[in-house]
Amino acid sequence: MPHHDLVIIGTGSGNTIPDDRFADLDVAIVEHGVFGGTCLNVGCIPTKMYVYAADVAQTIRRAGIYGVDATIDKVRWADIRDRVFGRIDPIAAGGQRYREHGLPNTTVYLGHAAFTGDRTLRVTPTDGGAPTTITADRVVVAAGARPSIPDSIGDSGVPFHTSDDVMRLDEVPRRLTIVGGGYIAAEFAHVFSALGSEVTVATRGTALLREQDEEISARFTALAQQRWNVLLDAAPTAPAEQREDGTVVLHCRHGAIEGDALLVATGRIPNADLLDAAAGGLDLHPDGRIVVDEQQRTTAPGVWALGDISSEFQLKHVANHEASIVRHNLLHPDDPRSVNNAHVPAAVFTDPQIAAIGLREQDCRDRGIPYVTKTQNYGDVAFGWAMEDTTGVVKLIARPDGTLLGAHMMGPEASTLIQPLIQAITFGLDARTMAEKQYWIHPALPEVIENALLGLPLGPEA
């Protein structure tokens, strides 16, 4: 029975933990899929490469408003796909080679790990070989999450795609049906519609991106309804089916939804249930996440967890932060550090982009927190005017004394533009100080933030 000083399950952010400071330890890494994890292979990075191509296509279509006549001659989907994975696949393969051959103290197990006892794992090889049982002094669980599939689709036998495989299609579907109303649905609706598909988005909810501030969600839903066929409150009324011609049909209160391809984007569920976490002494939250404390320790001694399998934030930058905390705590057990998830920003790379940090207006209202808001249009500043932007907004939420509570943006480059507000909220910079004690380059787009800050109806004590 092989024994290791440290076993890491998963090669996403968990794979970043062992460096030269672990050279004196016997390290094992277990991976049941493709090296690199969700973000590299099927998440953040490839999707944003597709999004950029979609953004370019949309820019060309909209060029006429600036007096530039332009048309798209052809979308070469296969070339877009090959550009993306021609870069990503070698990175994944190179990462695996490095772990297998570049470090003498590291053993790589290609297979599925499951707990059978205290820091004891059975690894079943992906090539069908005999399982191996391994033990360790310490274990890090970073095995991520997987797409959630509704029973009305999963049990129906109809073919469908998820974010795991839809980017590798051979061609753009003429009609694409997307089930879901969150960020994955919104991003792929943008990608496929911009690159040639007729997109239908069907969601159980009453709006798209309901996890956003209510005003941003409402504004985005209204814009999406102008661009895609958006069906709200579209819970299934019968199992999905496939016709003889290959058409996939969903049934909801709006009737039959027909498509040439079906993308399921109804969220992701943590993989803890696939690891038999209970056998290893790991407690789980009701939603299936592994329970961890502020130092990323699980309820099992000597076992840590990080990323989507334990975090309420399914975000790569959160997983990376948690991995850095786990690395430090493994190296310095007598001087542990805690995670800081007090102010976690996030972005949705759809069209238009959306970015947010902090409290939403509905959070303040529900918690009885006194607050004021200001919504500022991109088009109210010179650069927004130059862009002919009519939909971009910055919404700020603050206490009446000027303490910033939340920032919510929808518009071009929102994911970049929000960064100064992330800094302000993280480091406690109040609205008046932020607006008045620094220069704002004119006529750059960040002036929309300046105007929003100055427009907050603050009390006299601010």
CB of 298 closer than 8 Å to CB of 305: yes
- Give which of 14, 10, 32 is closest to 111, Cα–Cα: 32
CB of 139 closer than 8 Å to CB of 118: no
Q: What are residue 445's phi and psi, to 5 degrees?
A: -60, -30
- Give which of 419, 354, 410 is closest to 384, Cα–Cα: 410
Non-local CB neighbours of 101 within 8 Å, separated by 6+ positions:
none
Which amino acid is residue 423, in one-letter code? Q
Catalytic residue among 101, 285, 332, 442: 442
Which amino acid is residue 289, in one-letter code? R
- Give which of 113, 133, 139, 130 is closest to 6, Cα–Cα: 139
Q: How many Cα atoms within 13 Å fall on the side-chain side of residue 279? A: 13
Tokens of 289: 């996440």
The reply to whether 442 belongs to the active site is yes
Tokens of 17: 């933990």
- Cα–Cα distance, 328 to 140 (Å, whole number): 13
Active-site positions?
Answer: 442
